[in-house]
Amino acid sequence: MAQNKTQYDFRSTLIDKKIVTTMNNGVIILDSELRIHHYNRWLEIHTHIKEKELLGEKLTDIFGEIKEKTLLRKIRTALRMHTPTYYTANTSHYLIPIKINQIENAHFSYMQQDVSIIPFDEQNKLVALILTDQTNMANTNALLAAYVKKIKELNEQLLKEKELTEIQHKQLLANSRSAAMGEMISMIAHQWRQPLSLITTLLANVKIKKELHTLDEKSMDDSFVKIDNTVKYLSETINDFRDYFKPNKVKLEVKLAELFNKSIFFLKDEMTQYNISYSLDIDDNLSVYTYKNELLQSIINIIKNSIDAFKTNDITEKKIGVTVKTLKHHISIIIEDNAGGIEHEIIEKIFEPYFSTKNKNGTGLGLYMCRVIIVEHLQGEISIESQNNGTKVTINLPKKI
């Protein structure tokens, strides 16, 4: 293997191997041609390949599974924008194939990785790839998906009884609540992944700059402020999750604008992933006296249904709009989408238990539960209609129950 010795000797003077070795992450230094300039001890241990065998070699020649065009695009973006870019375990699974113990992680054969691509030496077009093991998080998500699937299977067993007794009725609500909890935990885990990756990136950046003697006080303070804000965000996410599932039956004065913003907080990652725009037309001071968490659960269910409809329909400009009006004795909430609408034969059955338009991916309890909550618990009305290639859900609630 021919290489320019001067070109690769920089690593011994600019990178303190003791610091990089102590990091519980993989670290690779690459140039813009994907040639390896450094390969830390963590990766040597996990891939069973020594750094000395790789210096000057092209990363994609060593690991043929890597999509070269994608990696080059992310590296060039990081260098051009002077900011990190990422791979996430949720979408890419892994960059470097690392076999794992399948007894501990039954769902995956290879380590699931988040990868941060940090501009390391912009003058020489060098970047640092920092690999973080996200296998446990990914495994947890897979277990949650299995849990939700099991709940759906248990619900389907009740199909034999068309006429629901009071006990069955309560069991349906309990089962749908459990399924909603599983989906919500999955949303929370998804929302945590990117902030955790950001913290890892910021800490690694500080370590590298410190060793290169380029770490100034402002840069360090900025990094710590970002980390502090990210930790606060994670804490708020858990608090919101806890409040959502708190089994209270206390009526409260609820500001509807805040309630809808909370529902979008839980769903925003999925809406961003599918390029769905969202609009809210409401008076910020408009409120109702009702059961907060039950109304929130119904709103999330309805908006989630719209998101799921977009997944199966090829819509160019995906839109979900919410309009809230105050009338003499009640509040009217209108939730509309342009996800293709619902067939006339189906719409008449939409509020029946176990009826789903999502085939095996739905429990058939979401809208049924919404109707029970809104009509029986919140003393309101709910209706649904399909028009103009979209769906419109109208909820009428008393201002006070």
Higher pLDDT, 92 or 357: 92
Predicted confidence (pLDDT) per residue in 20-63, tens digit:
666 788 999 999 999 999 999 899 999 999 999 999 999 999 99
Give the C-alpha distances (Å, rounded to integers) separating 344 from 273, 350, 384, 385.
30, 10, 11, 9
Candidates 65, 146, 142; CA nearest to 105 is 142
- Out of 12-21, 194-203, 213-222, pick the least confident: 12-21
Report pLDDT for 1: 42
Higher pLDDT, 286 or 151: 286
Task: Provide the β-strand partners of residue 392.
Answer: 336, 385
Question: What's the pLDDT band for 273 if we cut at 50, 70, 90?
Answer: confident
CA distance 53 to 2: 12
Report pLDDT for 186: 66
- Out of 115-124, 197-206, 332-341, 346-355, pick the least confident: 346-355
DSSP-derived secondary structure for 147-201: HHHHHHHHHHGGGG--SPPHHHHHHHHHHHHHHHHHHHHHHHHHHHHHHHHHHHH
pLDDT greater than 70 at residue 152 = yes
CA distance 59 to 199: 26
CA distance 264 to 256: 12
Question: What's the pLDDT band for 245 if we cut at 50, 70, 90?
Answer: low
Higher pLDDT, 65 or 297: 65
Higher pLDDT, 240 or 320: 320
CB contact at 8 A, 259 and 286: no
Domains in the chain and their CATH numbers? 5-138+183-237 (3.30.450.20), 248-398 (3.30.565.10)
Report pLDDT for 8: 45
Give the C-alpha distances (Å, rounded to integers) separating 343 from 273, 299, 360, 387, 390.
26, 22, 19, 10, 10
Report pLDDT for 138: 83
pLDDT greater than 90 at residue 277 = yes
Average of per-residue pLDDT across 8-15: 44
Report pLDDT for 12: 41
pLDDT greater than 80 at residue 7 = no
CA distance 131 to 129: 6
Beta-carbon count within 10 A of 159 CB = 10
Question: What's the pLDDT band for 94 if we cut at 50, 70, 90?
Answer: confident
Report pLDDT for 329: 85
Q: Would you state the structure tokens that stand for residue 123, as one six-digit string? A: 């003058």
SS3 content of the chain, % helix, strand, coil (to 5): 50, 20, 30
Higher pLDDT, 53 or 344: 53
CB contact at 8 A, 84 and 58: no
Report pLDDT for 6: 39
Average of per-residue pLDDT across 155-168: 60
CA distance 178 to 187: 14
pLDDT greater than 90 at residue 231 = no
**Residue 344 C-beta-side C-alpha neighbours within 13 Å:** 0
pLDDT greater than 90 at residue 385 = yes
Beta-carbon count within 10 A of 88 CB = 18
pLDDT greater than 50 at residue 9 = no
> What angle is formed at CA 103 by the lines to CA 181 and CA 111, rounded to 5 degrees?
75
Report pLDDT for 147: 81
Question: Kind of pairing, strands 26-31 and 36-39?
Answer: antiparallel
Average of per-residue pLDDT across 328-339: 93
Long-range contacts of 316-319 (CB under 8 A, 24+ apart): 317/277, 318/274, 318/275, 318/276, 318/277, 319/276, 319/277, 319/278, 319/279
pLDDT greater than 80 at residue 140 = yes
Residue-averaged pLDDT of the chain: 80
Report pLDDT for 5: 41
Helix (H, G, I), strand (E, B) or coil at 49: coil
**For the chain, what percent of residues have pLDDT higher than 90?**
29
pLDDT greater than 70 at residue 392 = yes
Higher pLDDT, 7 or 213: 213
Report pLDDT for 178: 65
Average of per-residue pLDDT across 288-311: 88
Report pLDDT for 199: 84
Helix (H, G, I), strand (E, B) or coil at 18: helix
How far does Cα 284 stand from its chain's mean position?
28
**pTM across the whole model:** 0.51
pLDDT greater than 50 at residue 305 = yes
Report pLDDT for 350: 82
Candidates 303, 280, 290, 291; CA nearest to 366 is 303
Average of per-residue pLDDT across 257-279: 87
DSSP-derived secondary structure for 247-283: ----EEEEEHHHHHHHHHHHHHHHHHHTTEEEEEE--
